[in-house]
Amino acid sequence: MEERRMPLLGEKFPSMEVVTTHGVKKIPEDYQGKWFVLFSHPGDFTPVCTTEFIEFSERAEEFKALNTELIGLSVDQVFSHMKWVEWIKEKANVEVPFPVIADELGRVSNQLGMIHPGKGTNTVRAVFIVDDKANIRLIMYYPQEAGRNVDEVLRVVNALQTTDKYKVAAPEKWPNNKHLGDKVIVPPAANEKAAKERLEAAKNGEFECLDWWFCYKNLNK
């Protein structure tokens, strides 16, 4: 019997054909060259999930500005998704611009580890951030009781894209770290010679260093 496990960071997002409120889609193939955030919710017509969908919808253009698409998912039927999206438009005056996967049989949810026995048969609040090469870059799980922070999802997409581009690392809460502000971490020196060169570079103003293993800089340097 083939062993099944949830995907891990750095692995390719598994190819799947899904039914959504925007029609049948193939993921990740339909998002080639784009990043995407796939997030699951426990169920349609529930208060916490509704607040999340409203916020994701209102922030969708900010994700698009980062070449990132949003995809929702739960084990509800597509007709339930469609009716809920209509309800959000009618009651909250918010248009849901992204597709919502109807994983009625739980095939996708089980493959991605979105159903946790201790939380019933609905999906937990999972988040998968996938880059433009279909690599899984971040996985987060929230319990059904606690809503997500969409600011954090957006922040991490920005941080991952920035660290990829400049070959650096992002400190806690970047770009609003309490001590470093929007400065980024320079990768640690790999040997003694590089460590000495790093400290010399700091003296010349190329980096700021607390020690040879802890150097940081502005992105424009």
d(C-alpha 32, C-alpha 23), whole Å: 18
What percent of the chain is modeled with pLDDT above 90? 68
User: Can you give the pLDDT at residue 65?
Assistant: 98
User: Domain tally for the chain?
Assistant: 2
DSSP 47-107: HHHHHHHHHHHHTHHHHHHTTEEEEEEESS-HHHHHHHHHHHHHHH-----S-EEE-TT-H
What percent of the chain is modeled with pLDDT above 70? 95
User: Can you give the pLDDT at residue 19?
Assistant: 96
User: Can you give the pLDDT at residue 2?
Assistant: 41
**pLDDT band, residue 62 (cuts 50/70/90):** very high
Residue 99 and residue 140 in one domain: yes
**Is 51 inside any structural domain?**
yes
User: Can you give the pLDDT at residue 100?
Assistant: 97
**pLDDT over 50 at 128, yes or no:** yes
Which of 188, 160, 195, 186 lies closest to 174, judged by CA?
Answer: 160
| Strand pairing category for 100-102 and 68-74 | parallel
Between 7 and 165, where is the model more confident? Answer: 165
Residue that is last in its domain, among 147, 182, 198: 147
User: Can you give the pLDDT at residue 189?
Assistant: 85
Burial of 84 by CB count in 10 Å (0-12 exposed, 13-18 middle, 19+ buried)? buried
* C-alpha dist (Å) from residue 80 to 84, 85, 95, 100, 160: 6, 9, 16, 10, 34
Residue 114 and residue 45 in one domain: yes
Residue 111 and residue 27 in one domain: yes
Residue matched to tokens 């899904």: 18
Compute CA 128 distance to the chain's CA centroid, rounded to the nearest angstrom: 5
Residue 133 and residue 184 in one domain: no
The domain that holds 102 is classified in CATH as 3.40.30.10
Helix H or strand E encompassing 190: none
DSSP designation for 30 = G
Residue that is last in its domain, among 94, 117, 147: 147
**pLDDT over 60 at 1, yes or no:** no
**Is 181 inside any structural domain?**
yes
**pLDDT band, residue 119 (cuts 50/70/90):** low
Residue 171 and residue 113 in one domain: no
Instruction: Report helix, strand or coil for 21.
Output: coil
Residue 114 and residue 210 in one domain: no
Q: What is the pTM of this model?
A: 0.91
Residue 35 and residue 100 in one domain: yes
**Is 212 inside any structural domain?**
yes
User: Can you give the pLDDT at residue 118?
Assistant: 65
Residue 46 and residue 92 in one domain: yes
| Strand pairing category for 184-186 and 208-211 | unpaired
Residue that is last in its domain, among 114, 147, 180: 147
Q: Are 207 and 198 contacting, i.e. CB atoms less than 8 angstroms apart? A: yes
| Catalytic-role residue among 18, 27, 37, 49 | 49
Domain that holds residue 83: 16-147
Which of 100, 131, 107, 158 lies closest to 31, judged by CA?
Answer: 131
User: Can you give the pLDDT at residue 106?
Assistant: 83
User: Can you give the pLDDT at residue 69?
Assistant: 98
**Is 125 inside any structural domain?**
yes
Average pLDDT, the chain: 91
The model's pLDDT over 160-189, given as tens digits with 9 standing for 90+, comes to 999 999 999 999 999 999 999 999 999 888
The model's pLDDT over 16-59, given as tens digits with 9 standing for 90+, comes to 999 999 999 999 999 999 999 999 988 899 999 999 999 999 99
In this structure, which amino acid lies at residue 62?
Answer: E
To the query of whether residue 209 is one of the catalytic residues in this protein, the response is no
